[in-house]
Structure 1
Amino acid sequence: MTEIRTPRLLLRRWLEDDLVPLSEIHADPAVMRNIGDGRPRSTEQTAGDIEAWEEEWDDEGFGVFAVELLGSGELAGAVGLTVVAEPDEVAGQVAVGWRLGRVFWGQGYASEAAHAALEFALQDRGLERVVAVLRTSDSASAAVVDKLGMRAEAAVQHPVHGYDLKVFGIDLTQYQE
């Protein structure tokens, strides 16, 4: 079982007990406003997300981790890697992404977990490049990609929802600098 420990977090595969706390995170409009269509997700949709993330682990050897606080065991959210389906400009590339419950914002958890996922991608899984695709209005996530050392590469539009996106990237040589 793939696990990563950081000073404050455990990144691990998904457990059955994670559905309820992740559903609560997904039900918060503030958490979901910059993800997908921007709407909260139901428990059934969240169960589908976890299932898809676990399938990606099985198919690709990487995926989205459950993020647990080491001190309390609370589920803080989800951080990890996924193969991008859209927009076309980055389809097929591996992206790092994150979503944390609002009570966990502003404490550096997203940066800590995303850094661990990026290191896992580039050093453990041997990927040559990782991207991040963000809504241009998502300044909190832009701060995370900046801390990761990712560089802005392109401005695109979401092909279905039409909102503006910014693509960031980093390759193995940039990461090792």
Structure 2
Amino acid sequence: MTGRRHLQCSHDKLSVEQERNYNLISHVSPRCRQLAIARMSDDEATEFYEDEDETFEFDGRPYLFEPEYTEEELRERRERREIERQRAEEAAASRATTQPRITGRWWCSCRCCEIMPTDMECFCCKEWDLLHRRSQDARCVTLAEGFSSLLDLWVLEAFFHVPKLNWARRPTPEGPDGHLSTE
């Protein structure tokens, strides 16, 4: 192939100027494209639109690439959600019947936790399944080998640089050398 574009309707080769116009217009922003088309002669613009209409195919099916689940996968998802809901209910019920965590460290399994201002913040690393699997060797997640790198200023700034709507202020680490205070 010579690299020249053929018109689909007449199978004639584009003139050098038509090809130049097409190449210039097909790779620019919509606004610049409108301006360039406005500068074309009527015949050039007509040929350009005819060629473009023939190559453009719109399917018109939204959500075409959304994941599709089998009945078994849907059943498993429902079961998982139900289990999570039951666990959340059980946890809420147990929190309601137990003494407040802010009254002492009885809830801490790693012996490194501090009492926080609210019950919800009083949470031991051994209570979180994800951390428990990763830090089985360490007594506490804060004593694990890779934990200190998580307190690095650059890591924290990258983590908190997630653009979110309605964030008036982003949390910033405060402590010695820009690290979170571990005291």
TM-score by length of 1: 0.24
- Higher-Rg structure is 2
Task: Name the structure where helix makes up a greater proportion of residues.
Answer: 2
- Structure with higher RCO (Cα < 8 A, 6+ apart): 1
